Amino acid sequence: MSEHNFEATMNFSIDTCQMVELPKISDPRGNLTFVESQRHIPFGIQRVYYLYDVPQGSERGGHAHRALHQLLIAVTGSFDVHLDDGREKKTVHLNRSFQGLYVCPMIWREIDNFSSGAVCMVLASAYYDESDYYRDYPEFCKVANP
Ligand code: TYD
């Protein structure tokens, strides 16, 4: 397991978003990976949701969150996550069940290039709350990069 010093970089820029190597218990019977709140990720998990049966060419995301922390995992298959903090952009390809992408608050994200059968599991720090979303990109940029 690799340790991350999240506190040192908790300024909600694109550099705060990082790949997290999760524990992988290899076994001839099949591998096992787990995620523990505050240990492997810098937040407590209050909600889990997943995207699946995503049609080819489809895009998800297209929003940012005011306060939500998330970990995205390609449980099966692969996809691209485009991150944007209002100043810089980067794209991360997720394709390993034992890796997660930590996405801090105030990051615009778009997810595309889903492989057939891909499942994107998201661990989130809070219950669903529509008022936590920025769904308008210019509005997000005004706040993120005033
Ligand atoms: P949204 O977050 O926009 O999806 P994505 O980022 O994956 O493209 O959510 C799509 C719809 O689902 C929207 O109407 C809100 C609803 N929703 C919930 O009710 N609960 C949830 O936990 C999530 C993530 C979404």
Give 41-100 pLDDT, tens digit per residue.
999 999 999 999 999 999 999 999 999 999 999 999 999 999 999 999 999 999 999 999
Q: Looking at the whole model, is its pTM more than 0.75?
A: yes
Structure tokens, 110? 């778009």
Task: Give the residue whose CA is nearest to atom 17 of ligand 1.
Answer: 128
Q: Is residue 32 part of a domain?
A: yes
Q: Catalytic annotation on 93?
A: no
Spacing, Cα 66 to ligand 1 middle (Å): 15
Q: Which CATH number do you get for residue 120?
A: 2.60.120.10
Spacing, Cα 1 to ligand 1 middle (Å): 31
For residue 112, CA distances in Å to 4, 55, 62, 78, 100 come to 27, 10, 10, 9, 16
Q: Is residue 115 part of a domain?
A: yes
> Cβ of 105: how many Cβ atoms within 10 Å?
17
Q: Is residue 8 part of a domain?
A: no
pLDDT band with cut points at 50, 70 and 90 for residue 146: confident
The string of pLDDT tens digits covering residues 8-31 is 445 789 999 999 999 999 999 999
Q: Is residue 2 part of a domain?
A: no
Task: Give the residue whose CA is nearest to atom 14 of ligand 1.
Answer: 130
Q: Is residue 57 part of a domain?
A: yes
Residue 20 belongs to what domain range?
14-144
Phi first, then psi, for residue 130 (nearest 5°) are -60, -30
Q: Is residue 6 part of a domain?
A: no
- Number of compact structural domains in the chain: 1
Q: Is residue 3 part of a domain?
A: no
**Cα–Cα dist 107/7, whole Å:** 17
Q: Mutation test of ligand 1: which of 45, 60, 112 has the most ligand atoms closer than 8 Å to its C-beta? A: 60
8 A C-beta contact, residue 100 and residue 41: yes
Instruction: Specify the pLDDT at position 11.
Output: 75
For residue 108, CA distances in Å to 37, 64, 127 come to 23, 4, 19
Q: Is residue 117 part of a domain?
A: yes
Instruction: Specify the pLDDT at position 1.
Output: 36
